[in-house]
Chains A and B, each alone.
Chain A
Amino acid sequence: MIAEPEVEIHPQKIIDRNKRKEDKFNFIKAILLDIFLVFYSLIVLQRAIYFKFILDLRELPFSWNEIGIIYLISVVTGILWTSTKTSLSCKLFGIAKDNKITKWTVEIFSWFLFNITFIAGWIVTKFSIVDIFSSEGIQGAQRIFGALFQPEMGIFDDALFAIIETIYIALLATLISIPPTLLLSFFTARNLMRDNKIAFTVYYVLRIILNFIRSIEPLIWAIIFSVWVGIGPYAGMIALLVHTIASNAKLYSEAIENIEEGPIEAISATGANKIQIVWYAVVPQILLPFLSFTIYRWDINVRMATIIGLVGGGGIGTMLMQYQGLARWHEVGLIVLMIAFVVWVMDYISARIREAIY
């Protein structure tokens, strides 16, 4: 008889090992974050506050050497600072020493970061009270608002067609998105994908790709696709479709991550396989949230389709852009009113349907 191999590691050792590994990992994360924070502070101090605010330069001088030097300084300071275990990042990752110095550095540095960010934001947006209240500006605004309330009804039927086109673009994008979104959402739900390495890798890679796609605005997608497939409703539809898939896959997979674990446990305890578990324990729990997200997304897509039209995605947005380019504000007025009406109706309908579902 062959002796059975014993897998006996002392449990306390496992606990200690995990703790050490985690601490090391947190330390590296803290160093990276500290370097970034110092770098950020120095850059903002130099470029926004010193050059722009104090020297009031029009053209900011730029040289890679300078930035390289600032970066080097940040790396050295960051590493030294993290090693003292009193930095903000150490506190964030839970490896800081628990003493007065930590408390003070964390408080002062957070306050400092908040302030320079706020000031830099102020400077970058060129915040100016003067512009808002200049008489020239106010006159322009008056002209447009005046026109908006005297809409030109002559283009009503054209605008109606255009807005119907917009609604259909949104509807089609939403409908076509459903099957791929469903499929993707299962592969990007953490609780379904964590039990083995391959599954987790797939989960991770898909998440990154989807995050990337989602981080690009539908407007940019529309520009890309209008070059790719030509300006018009088709480009607008594909742009919306891509973005809808990426963002709904996230919502769906979050719904999957939030389901009750109990039924999953119960079904897997019967010896069911992965597909059976998903079908019986996961699907019934997510059907309604999915439906509700999809309807809500249609509503959002109508609004987005309008915006996308501005860059040549077809529909009412394209029409709006044309009249706006000609400065025909009365026609623009009609179009804006129609958009507002449709958006309001869609919002209302989708809210009602979602209420009825639950």
Chain B
Amino acid sequence: MIEIKNISKSFNGRQVLDNVSGVFKKGETSLVIGASGTGKSVLLKCMLDLVRPEAGTTLYDGRDFYVGDEEDKKDIRREMGVLFQGGALFDSKTVHENVQFPLDMLTKMGEGEKKDRVEFCLQRVGLEGTGGRMPSEISGGMKKRVGIARAIVMNPKYLFCDEPNSGLDPLTSIKIDELIKEITDEFDITTVVITHDMNSVLSIGDKIMFLHKGKKLWEGNSQTIMGDTVPELEEFVFCNKALSLMRAGK
């Protein structure tokens, strides 16, 4: 379980996050949704302590992530996997080396054991046999898959995905969403997905947090999101024409 408490962050005097709190539960795919520029990525960076908020804390199963130095954080960091927006694969390494990288740096596994683990993860995301390619040679959807494989290679307790389906076609998007959801269920991970894609919202949102201009305005799940009457949320949800027609018809 991850708890965030009263997180506030501003850049050069501009408030980007305003007193955001929330709980993300184990075994659930929790979504953070909102329009572009509302501070979703900043919230994620605060949770990962890449950006330190002015106020608030993040607790990982009760452990305060903002106390102590980097050495103290290593234990929690080992339990995290992150899929960044563009995949953030290391350009100079092959797919296999990318996925193996956390094992190389953070564990004392033998070569054979590492290889097996990498193969397992690549196969889990549906990429068996592509290990030898470079990131520049694979498609956007494959990059996200490699990113997921790298994120889960250390068997994380917490998985974070920043816009896992940005820049992908609708079909690939749904496949990536489903993959994340399956992995969450299969390995009983606490997963936080940042998205502005209504498809994901409706299909994988066990729990949903809606951010608007840095404030948390609503919380619920994929069933309750259609019926709720927060004006900003309605605007976000029903900007999709098909959905708004659906509602008009009901």
A and B co-occur in one complex: no
Binding site for A on B (CB under 8 A): none
Binding site for B on A (CB under 8 A): none
